[in-house]
Amino acid sequence: MCLKSLQTYTDEEELCCVYVPTNHLYIGDVFLVNTKDVIRPNLSVREGIEIVVSGGMSMPQVLSTLDMRIAPERSRSSRVERS
């Protein structure tokens, strides 16, 4: 869910509300993140729920983004190596 804008003392900026799940005893946190820092994965709602419920165990090996126009240096630095 993205907010149109959030008024601060300095200026207005567009923010997204991002849910970050944690362990089962503590449901999770909601963060407001600048839209420029959000990468939207190409996942269905069902796939997203499966990832959250499984604690990340059902995460696909490769994720693509909805917007493939990410700068190459950003996509390289955000890769996670798995062994």
Give the pLDDT confidence of 19-53 residue by residue, as tens digits: 887 776 677 888 888 888 888 888 898 998 898 88
| pLDDT on residue 8 | 65
For 8-23, the DSSP string reads: -SS-EEEEEEEEEE--
* Structural domain span for residue 14: 1-37
Residue 74 lies in a domain: yes
What sign results for the dihedral spanned by CA atoms 18, 60, 49, 44? Answer: positive
Structural domains of the chain, count: 2
Mean pLDDT of 48-64: 86
Residues 33 and 45 in one domain: no
State both tokens at 52: 């959250």
Whether 20 and 45 share a structural domain:
no
Mean pLDDT, rounded, of the chain: 74
E-assigned strands of the chain? 2-7, 12-21, 28-34
Q: Residue 83 domain-assigned? A: no
Which pTM value belongs to this model?
0.53
Q: Give the Å distances, CA to CA, from 34 to 38, 56, 70, 80.
A: 7, 24, 15, 22
